[in-house]
Amino acid sequence: MNNMTEIRWHGRGGQGAKTACLLLADAAFTAGKFVQGFPEYGPERMGAPITAYNRISEERCNIHSNIYNPDYVVVVDETLLHGVDVTAGLNPAGAIVVNTPKAPEEIRPLLRGYAGRVCTVDARSISEKTLGRYFPNTPMLAAIVKVSGVLDEAQFVADMQASFEHKFATKPQVVAGNMAALTMTMKEVREG
What are the pLDDT digits (tens) for 153-177? 999 999 999 999 998 989 888 999 9
Helix, strand or coil, per DSSP, at residue 56: strand
User: Taking residues 137-160, what's their average pLDDT?
Assistant: 97
What is the pTM (predicted TM-score) of this model? Answer: 0.94
CB 177 within 8 A of CB 107: no
Residue type, 98: V
pLDDT bucket at 116, cuts 50 / 70 / 90: very high
- Does 142 have pLDDT greater than 60? yes
Say whether pLDDT at 41 is over 90. Answer: no
- pLDDT average, residue stretch 34-54: 85
Q: Which residue, 73, 71, 53, is CA-closest to 63?
A: 53
Q: How confident is the model at residue 43 (pLDDT cuts 50, 70, 90)?
A: low
**Which pLDDT tens digit goes with each residue over 66-115?**
999 999 999 999 999 999 999 999 999 999 999 999 999 999 999 999 99
Q: In the chain, what are the domains? A: 5-191 (3.40.920.10)
> 22 pLDDT band (50/70/90 cuts)?
very high
Q: Are 25 and 83 in contact (CB under 8 A)?
A: no
The pLDDT assigned to 3 comes to 87
Q: What is the pLDDT of residue 42?
A: 66
pLDDT of res. 18:
93
Angle at 155 between CA 20 and CA 182, to 5 degrees: 45
Share of the chain above pLDDT 70, in %: 96
Between CA 68 and CA 62 the distance in angstroms is: 16
